Amino acid sequence: MTSFDELRAQIAENDREIVARVNARLRLVAELWRLKEEQAAPRLDPDREARLRRALAAANEGPLTPAGLERLVGELLALTKDELGGA
């Protein structure tokens, strides 16, 4: 049987991985935005965001609910914009 400490250690490792992946995403988006600026392309692409939401919804195997996924993706996109100064 798994102990509280083992489960908590696994949760903590998952949390560290989430932070690392969000930081990696921020670095990639910053690079993308630099390229877009060089090419005078709009920073934000609502169609791309919609495709991202659909792709993540299709990939979601649960137990995260569709509403929970929508909240997560919305927060991730907002955080990205806030952290990188884009609106």
Predicted local distance difference test score (pLDDT) of residue 1: 75
Structure tokens at 82: 């806030």
Q: Report the number of secondary-structure helices (H) and strands (E) in the chain.
A: 3, 0
Structure tokens that stand for 13 in this block: 């490792």
* Model pLDDT, residue 69: 98
Instruction: Give residue for tokens 């990188």.
Output: 84
> How far apart (Å, rounded) are the C-alpha atoms in residues 12 and 16?
6
Asked whether the whole model's pTM tops 0.85, one would answer yes
Q: Give dist(CA 83, CA 65) in Å, integer.
A: 26
Q: Render each residue's pLDDT in the chain as its tens digit; 87 residues.
A: 789 999 999 999 999 999 999 999 999 999 999 999 999 999 999 999 999 999 999 999 999 999 999 999 999 999 999 999 966
pLDDT of amino acid 44: 93
Q: What is the CATH number that goes with domain 4-84?
A: 1.20.59.10
